[in-house]
Structure 1
């Protein structure tokens, strides 16, 4: 067996509506409804399925808890565009821009949190623009 790609992940959240609003506004993801009125966030060819805390859908992780995820998303374009967008959205940075190593090479990342406290990393492989590291 050889894994080809990641299809979806599951986030356990305290408030599905607030999560959808944040990920749609800040990260440009699209809300979708599937199955028995379940909610997910779609982006590219992947999605994030959302489960309500205290009501996970079986089978589920051993301890599904809001705020325990650490996710990295790659964006096209420069990190300065990311910074400007996050500032416009009123998102407070935890760290960055900082150099990191992505799945296929060096990236520049910024870190912030979603409404449940999950750590989100948004990064770019683009280095054609001047980078202001903080």
Structure 2
């Protein structure tokens, strides 16, 4: 019945810090749409952004910053991701470690975004 994820909504406290992380550190494209809305595009998906206290309706029942745990598959080898994180002076919380993703084994590093959401960046293994 479900084919794929189109977008998810991230609630943040600091728009500028969040834009910096998702565009400069994560390499996503900034998109504006609608009446001043912001999204981060990657592949065929996007993350729509809400600022805490100024969320768009309808919204989650309890939209709070820092409650997400997201995993992204990198478009480059994980060693390049690690080097990029270092060049951005963005700390790795854990990894590289092997995990199990939706379609098989993955090798991952974990970072936190400005709202302390846990962000896993992975490459497929094998």
Whether 1:43 and 2:25 are equivalent positions in the alignment is: no
- In the alignment, is the contact (CA less than 8 A) between 1:78 and 1:126 conserved in 2? no
Question: Moved runs in structure 1, 4+ residues, more than 4 A?
Answer: none
- How do residues 45-124 of structure 1 correspond to structure 2 at under 5 angstroms? 45-124=44-123
- In the alignment, is the contact (CA less than 8 A) between 1:76 and 1:126 conserved in 2? no
For structure 1, the 5+ residue unaligned runs are 128-134
Q: RMSD between aligned alpha carbons?
A: 1.0
* Cα offsets for 1:59-91 (capped at 9, x unmatched): 111110111111100013322111111111111
Structure with the greater alpha carbon radius of gyration: 1
For structure 2, the 5+ residue unaligned runs are none
Whether 1:16 and 2:37 are equivalent positions in the alignment is: no
Q: Structure 1 CA distance, aligned partners of 2:93 and 2:30?
A: 26
TM-score normalised by L of structure 1: 0.90
TM-score normalised by L of structure 2: 0.96
